[in-house]
Structure 1
């Protein structure tokens, strides 16, 4: 859809890419300075200063202590963190549970490992189906948990995470969490899974710099996990990427030193954009779902077109690119009556997209 946006001079609300100017200046400066001094490999687990800063940050913020030498690994983006974790911890005959609609990269990662994805559809209520999870957990090895969730913006509640913890320990599961949107939340309900009970003992946390600091192209991700899990995923990471880009790792040390006010302002900024897009989509006759976190918004449309047909027509006739909802389901023939917008762009870009939708509306 990004390629379609380029082809049709459309406003790209498909891919979660921030506009220019979103990255804090101090981080940009740190990266530029590091190019002159630190352009060679770090050790494969990552720059020691960055791993120490990550360990300190997570102990202060989430109350979980990770040894920077053995339990913190810097990866080439969060996507690599997830793929390396899956390749290390899953294999043929294993079943991996995901909640749908699901971020589309998880399914190939599971299949690369030779494992089988087991989707649980939560489209209707976006609530944890406890009984269904307990049922599939009997034969599963891994649970993938994304919170805040792409594409719906769902944030799993503390009560839901407590039920997940019970099921994880009862059925001996490992949890791989994708927490890349952990700082883009709109109320106080967000909790990391590792803050709940003893889940940290069985969890690989995958996160990174991309969304929090608006540096999606720098490819610096993190995993934080107990040593027995980190030891395995490091074997895959070492032989796939060697290390993440060194100057951007150095910039990560600077990023983690930012004042807490940065994170508050970040969420407030995205909340304004969320509200602008929600009101705009509602005004042009679409039916958006208001997210509790992340920077995506699913919206239903009132025509008989498939989601793919609607998306292609939207980019070509209205000049706005979105992602078809069926992209987020494991069934290759899935039928969906919604599409995903991103509000990672600045307010003027979002408003321009709304104006185009209003002026070129056919639904």
Structure 2
């Protein structure tokens, strides 16, 4: 008699050390729960459809008829040129569009390609927590060891801890404005960080996807500080600035010696970013400076609207200086995950548990994150639900 097989499944452990312990995104999990429960989704940073400028939507639709095949792997030449010109204007750094600008499948792919290219087994990657959840698995997938530096209290970097970690690290990740807290690193903070970077020969990966959503005059890009541009990979893109999170068009700007390495990963994982949306990116980058001013002003109004509503509902928001998220303390003994699920079920509003922004999978956090990327009427409805269904 034949030996029965085990349902066709392989024996032993499936997967490798690169994936062991990596869970699905909690942010996306909360979105799925919101959809299933019919809750207002204030978890994932998804703008409403009417936030997208109509002229770039038209450009994308037109491009489907004319530009539906591969572009050059590094991106549509016209888009790389537009990125180079705009960032020279915005940050005062000239990137060669041929060798130093790469169009990626969103900022997440830019970060992942950079990490896989520049970090390896045994290397150490420093980042400040609470942190956007993507950096943690990106480090692990590269085989590197993540070194989180906690800045929960006061949202200020501990330079002594940074200098100590930098002695053995390879990469420092900076995110400004920061997700989830909305912290904007000041010029003075970045100048001190630059000293440590050069003293310990670090490479910097900076995530600046929220660079145009800022509510303070203190914002500067890390590449504007001293000589940091010489050893920094800037990861940014269209998603947040133009409310096209599903288009997946990222910009990766770096000196040629760094771009050359990350392009190897991008080439074999992505080939190229979606062509019609790259074409629309050229149109997007032609918008006047007033567009960016209005964008920031609009989100600042919504920030104030949500923070006021959360305070009225008996929660304790920490007002952000940038991005479109609010970290909020809550006054119950529930875990942050329990509080989130109960809020979805009983109040019909979905946030994200704060523990998802820490490396420790068992982190205890007494706060949750809300987004104000939605329009004002949606935020008003969410506030009404919190007020009407409050149990805390």
TM-score range, shorter chain: over 0.9
Structure 2 counterpart of 1:267: 296
**Residues 117-266 of structure 1 mapped to structure 2, 5 A cutoff:** 117-266=146-295
**Residues 285-304 of structure 1 mapped to structure 2, 5 A cutoff:** 285-304=314-333
For residues 178 and 33 of structure 2, what CA distance do their matches in structure 1 show?
25
Runs of 4+ displaced beyond 6 Å: none
Q: What is the TM-score of this pair, normalised by structure 2?
A: 0.92
Structure 2 counterpart of 1:353: 382
For residues 106 and 360 of structure 2, what CA distance do their matches in structure 1 show?
27
User: Residue 21 of structure 1 aligns to a residue in which SS?
Assistant: helix
Give the root-mean-square deviation of aligned CA atoms. 0.4
Q: 2:138 aligns with which of 84, 109, 112?
A: 109
Structure 2 counterpart of 1:65: 94
For residues 57 and 19 of structure 1, what CA distance do their matches in structure 2 show?
26
For residues 153 and 217 of structure 2, what CA distance do their matches in structure 1 show?
24
Q: What is the TM-score of this pair, normalised by structure 1?
A: 1.00
User: Residue 299 of structure 1 aligns to a residue in which SS?
Assistant: strand
Alignment length (residue pairs): 363
The alpha carbon displacement at 1:8 in A equals: 1.0
Q: Mind listing any 5+ residue stretches in structure 2 that lack a counterpart?
A: 1-29
Q: What are the Cα deviations for residues 299-358 of structure 1, in whole angstroms up to 9, with x where unaligned? A: 000000000100000000000000000000000000000000000000000010000000
**Residues 14-25 of structure 1 mapped to structure 2, 5 A cutoff:** 14-25=43-54
For residues 359 and 243 of structure 1, what CA distance do their matches in structure 2 show?
48
The alpha carbon displacement at 1:55 in A equals: 0.5
Structure 1 counterpart of 2:7: none
The alpha carbon displacement at 1:60 in A equals: 1.1
Q: Mind listing any 5+ residue stretches in structure 1 that lack a counterpart?
A: none
Structure 2 counterpart of 1:335: 364
For residues 4 and 232 of structure 1, what CA distance do their matches in structure 2 show?
39
Structure 1 counterpart of 2:79: 50
Structure label with greater radius of gyration? 2
